[in-house]
Structure 1
């Protein structure tokens, strides 16, 4: 291709680009692609109990205690309830005696 022909093709291309007009979009083109927005329902305020003292005493009567809790056996918890010193002594008792010549 010659330089003159390349220039004329480029000029035609630019002329067509400048003359291009996008087709107009319809005003309702968004229908079906955009979801309608609706405000969420307003939350209701909490109901304040009228007899708070009676509800608190009922709660205190039904509150569980540690004695009522079921005891679950978990592996590796045989040292629970020991003091730190007795726990360390039991660990040291399991260790073999080290040789003094090292």
Structure 2
């Protein structure tokens, strides 16, 4: 029975010590925090100069209004010139400029889109040396 009483007395001492510790901690003030708060409340920001924005803010100016595009005077002749031009000439010049591309590239350039797709689907045979 004495061991139970010893435990009970020890527990009450622990509780009373923790109460005394917590009450003394609440009563004690944090001087650094109080000084910090006092200085923050007493701070007055310096007044801003009237021309403080001069170097920072740019003046806004509207962009120039766009002009309507001018229509060609002879639209029919320009359309006929466009229709008579052949866009294939550009691919022929590119193929002639790169003869080292090989025999297969020339076939693809001459055959158009179908030949290109067939060349992409074809299996590639690599020569092993």
TM class by smaller structure? 0.5 to 0.7
Q: How many residues align?
A: 84
1:45 aligns with 2:71: no
* Deviation digits for residues 39-64 of structure 1 (CA, Å, limit 9, x no counterpart): 22111110112321122234445x25
Give distance in 1, aligned partners of 2:54 and 2:71. Answer: 45
Give the alignment partner of residue 72 of structure 1, picking from 97, 100, 119.
97
Structure with greater proportional helix content: 2
1:30 aligns with 2:53: yes
**C-alpha root-mean-square deviation of aligned residues, in Å?**
3.4
Question: Which structure has the bigger radius of gyration?
Answer: 2
TM-score, normalised to structure 1, is 0.56
Give distance in 1, aligned partners of 2:102 and 2:81. Answer: 36
